Amino acid sequence: MKIHTSLRTFLITLILLITVRLNSDAQNMPLSVKNIFFEKQKQNLKDTISKRIGAESPFIVGYNYNPVTNSESNHPYFKENKWTKGSLVYQGLVYNLEGFKYDIEIDKLIYLSYGHDNTMNGVALDENFIGEFSILNSTFRYYRNLKNEAGRKLKTGYYEVVYDGKLKFLVRSEKSKTMNDYSSLTDLFLLKNETLIGISSMRKLVSELKDKEKTIKEFIKNNSLTLNKSDYSSASRVLKFYENL
């Protein structure tokens, strides 16, 4: 992984400037003074880098995280066990970055952060600061206080936003470790009138759009659309068509 281009350029420039200054100022210094001068400049460099990283990456709020690296298939992450590009929203600003994984088991976005000494550290980002992020062509949003049709409170956490209109189609993915393997659970929902409705099939989705049911059925038939827990992309097409009628 690479440090962001602007930060990397800044560091190279800063190091060159300090090197020039060291060569210029230290020519006639005694050795003991040179060592003190060098250590002072080195600490100034570390402090400057730390401030710069903090300014460019203010979203790094969370706790240290040790990534699972020993398997490409048996892991707690969304889709794949690889550091990938993505984006996140922090205080209304979008940051496009490299070095993301989404740990579904603990429901945390993981960021590969570089320290001032170029060490790499996994950080489980705090969901109270990261309300939304995108990774591997999917967008996730943190939801609280969701309730089902019976008024029962549902799980707080990140939900994949498949369709984001007046109606929203959400997917909740979970993983849990059993012995030496991970089991997966996927639930599909329609967010309608502030109520989360479980959707198990296209038939169930259509039943929630009953005011235009006949037209929706024709659209689904003509486009051979299906809906299940392994392929729910068609939900976006159906809801977009419905809301544009």
In order of 35, 57, 61, 131, 208, the CA distances from 50 in angstroms are: 23, 10, 14, 25, 52
- DSSP output for 41-74: HHHHHHHHHHHHHHHH-TT--EEEE----S-SSS
Q: What values do phi and psi take at 155, rounded to 5?
A: -65, 135
More confident residue, 69 or 52: 69
What is the per-residue pLDDT across 135-163, written as a single tens digit (0 to 9) for each?
Answer: 999 999 999 999 998 899 999 999 999 99
What pLDDT, on a 0 to 100 scale, did the predictor assign at position 239? Answer: 97
* In the block, residue with structure tokens 């392929």: 231
What pLDDT, on a 0 to 100 scale, did the predictor assign at position 105? Answer: 96
Angle, helices 31-56/5-25, rounded to nearest 10 degrees: 160
What is the per-residue pLDDT across 67-93, written as a single tens digit (0 to 9) for each?
Answer: 988 777 889 999 999 999 999 999 999
What is the pTM assigned to this prediction? 0.76
What pLDDT, on a 0 to 100 scale, did the predictor assign at position 1? Answer: 37
- Does 103 have pLDDT greater than 80? yes
Range of lowest pLDDT (43-52, 188-197, 232-241): 43-52
Secondary structure (3-state) at 179: coil
What pLDDT, on a 0 to 100 scale, did the predictor assign at position 12? Answer: 55
